[in-house]
Chains A and B, each alone.
Chain A
Amino acid sequence: MKTTPGIFRLSAQSKVVLAFTSVIALAGFVWPFFYVGNLHWIFVAAIAASALLLVSEVGIGSIDAKSIALLGVMSAFITLLRPLGAGAAGLEPIWFALIIAARVFGPSWGFLLGITSMTTSALLTGGVGPWLAYQVFAAGWIGLLAGSLPQKFAGKLIRGATEKVLLVVTGIFASFAFGILMDLQFWPWVMGSNTQLSYVPGGAISENLSRFITFHFASSMAWDIPRAILTSVLIVMTATPFLRALRRTYFRAAFLTPIEFKNVVQIKN
């Protein structure tokens, strides 16, 4: 039956592009463990190119007006939230909104929201630089993850307190994952070459990994923990009304509502 367009979903081709660009991005995060030499700028370029490729591929597909409108509004909302925390000490009040919105509107849309909100908010906070492409992918993945959380468990819809717990766990995981990814991306460059925590080009993976973990714990845990706490607190505080408002929007947007053209309308009473 004919219906109105549904919320945005990645086409099969877009999924292939997403997988491909994600592999490049992931390689961009972890290459220092495997390669001697400097690939930093190559990956900065490759990841930026991947992000562009992804956005254009997704744009070519049939994204409908309502999904675009929702994406625009939520990106603007997150963009306004970002300067409130400015990232100092990891206090970024944007993750809860990304996670909750992705939860309602699904993984494909959530992935796009991560990308668009991170890009637009970077313009507002002046955070445009080589790290932006990494941040964009990390945010996209978080949106994808939050959107992929199960809606049902044992045949029952996950709602209420259970859903809140699920979102808080996701928020904590995302806060730490984002911290680790961002550290990975600048750790090789930040410590100089002679400290206990420095990256050793060409060193054994286990050696570098333990140095990285030490570095991460020494430096950025101070950022990850506040980020996780803030995100959890905001999710606990806002999830109920926020989810309700977004689910109402989802309902009112009349996604996938049947359309019929007939000669005569018959009413069944």
Chain B
Amino acid sequence: MIRFNNVSLIYPHSLHTVFEDLSFTIDEGEMVLVIGATGSGKSSLLRLINGLVPHHTGGILAGDISVDGISTSLTKPGGLAHLIGIVGQNPAHGFVTDTVEEELVFGMEALNFAPDVMRKRVEEILDLLSLAHLRARSISTLSGGEQQRVAIGSALVMHPKVLVLDEPTSALDPIAAEEVLSILHRLVHDLGLTVVISEHKLERVIGFADRIIAISADGKTEIDIPEEILKKSPIAPPIVHLARALNLDSVGTSVREVRRMTTHLRDFTPLLSQPGSATGQTVVAIEKLSHFYGEKMALREVSLEFKSGEISAVMGRNGAGKSTLFKSIVGFHTSIGGQIRVLGTDPTELHGRKRLSTIGYIPQEPSDLLIHPSVAKECAASDRDNGLADGSTFAFLIRLTPTVNPEAHPRDLSEGQRLSLVLALILCSAPDVLIMDEPTRGLDYQAKSLLVDTLVSYSRNLGKCVLIATHDVELVAEVADRVVFLADGDVVADGATLDVLLSSPAFAPQVAKVMSPAPWLTVKDALRGIAEATGKDPQE
């Protein structure tokens, strides 16, 4: 279906190739996953398939790419629109109309379909993607998962033979992501659709993929079945890291497989190690906080305390009140029932430098904090605002990402570098409490481990209080000392990470699922736990 023959690509204004001599064939009805670090060329590869690269971007393309026998060098992307559907990372960026039905019809209008064909196709897609009950809804009122389904529907309605998805679930919570992926799985199996998908959160998609294309940082690519690629790929989900660390003969792609492979490691009683509770001073004290949006209750008499030297994760589904809680702590909301004190002060009364050195807040979209035209200017402004010596912020940034180009526009940076920049801007003033809303959206494993290291050292070494709101259980397992679980504006669970995550299978990280009932959340925990229980190093 898709054939790459000795493909190499160079972008304009660039001196190095994105790919060199890339050759592979994807058959009809295959689901292929593209993995690689940010900036390795995943998006370029996906856009080569329908010719957006180089027809839209410019560049030099060597070799030949053909889709269903049509060469992309001779046909412009518009000529492939009926053959290839493409879905982006943020569905909201691609919508052109207001309602679900209109959005589904739009592409067919552009391709000049007959009205009766359009009617039939719309009904068909509404059923296929279970969108029938949403047909008249305004797209902006849909949840993230529903929006992504509409985006997939509006690509499928043209009956493409190939569907290309660029990180379709990275902006979604785990449940919405599951919804989208299971539909893709069904499309591949029922319709024989060829799907090419890129994704950072491998633990979500790995079970669905037939083959993986792995792009390494030096531009080398490999295509093989998941088990083979994952044996050596640095990008891998936690269960694969676990299998590797335990020196298992093969790696599994699902919890079930790895659990079967590790039966021999679980036939002993693990020692329950008690995590020490934080003993720092109270930084944030919340007493009977309630918040309403009009009639809707967002928080109901929430009382919490957060201490210094402690990393707390706030979890819960979308709309549970996580962001409202954080915004109240930051002091964005004034009309609140109850009381918030940050180091004894009402956060709405903190201003200027005092505010910068007390509360650091990184919103869901970190680029909202970036207003200057270059990295160097952002850093200089931060030095000025915080009254630091010239160059301190930049020095901080260089420690996080040594390769960042100071002249680059902040919005041209990779996700990981952009997050580093924002962290540097916020952390250089050493705020007593750092608050991050959904910090791992769109981050690859490398950027995520950078984030983990930064947060852990900020909390442990400097004794600061860190709060993160997230859906990412793997991140929580890595960094958090404590988890607060919100539902419908109430605190339903509050306790040590281990207790909260293990009490519900839905929120257990992969390693815990494999190792259950042993209380280990991460690969490191499991290795240490097995060593303690058996007296031998499992890596031997």
Contact = CB atoms under 8 A, between A and B. Distances in A.
17 contacts: A4-B54, A4-B56, A65-B78, A244-B373, A258-B12, A258-B59, A258-B60, A259-B61, A260-B59, A260-B61, A261-B61, A262-B62, A263-B62, A263-B63, A265-B9, A267-B10, A268-B15
> What is the size category of the interface that chain B forms with chain A?
20 to 34
Given A244-B373, A248-B409, A265 B10 contact: yes
B17 A66 contact: no
A75 to B, nearest CB: 14
A269 interface: yes
Listed residue (A66, A254, A264, A268) with the most chain B CB atoms within 10 angstroms of its CB = A254
A257 B12 contact: yes
Contacts of A267: 10, 15-17
A269 B56 contact: no
A265 B60 contact: yes
Interface in B29-61: 54-61
Nearest to A64: B56
A56 interface: no
Nearest to B371: A241
A263 B56 CA distance: 20
Interface in B47-99: 54-63, 73, 78
A193 interface: no
B8 interface: yes
Interface in A214-252: 244, 248
A244 B377 CA distance: 14
Contacts of A268: 15
Nearest to A260: B60
Contacts of A4: 54-58
Interface SS, B side:
mixed
Interface residues of A, number: 19
B58 A258 contact: yes
Interface of B: 8-10, 12, 15-17, 20, 54-63, 73, 78, 373, 409
Contact of B56 (A254, A258, A260): A254
A257 B17 CA distance: 17
Contacts of B59: 257-260
A170 to B, nearest CB: 24
A265 B62 contact: yes
Interface in A120-175: none
B61 A257 contact: no
Most B-side CB within 10 Å, residue of A4, A257, A265, A267: A265
Contacts of A66: 56
Contacts of A11: none
Nearest to A72: B96
Given A265-B10, A267-B15, A257 B57 contact: yes
A257 B57 CA distance: 7
A116 to B, nearest CB: 16
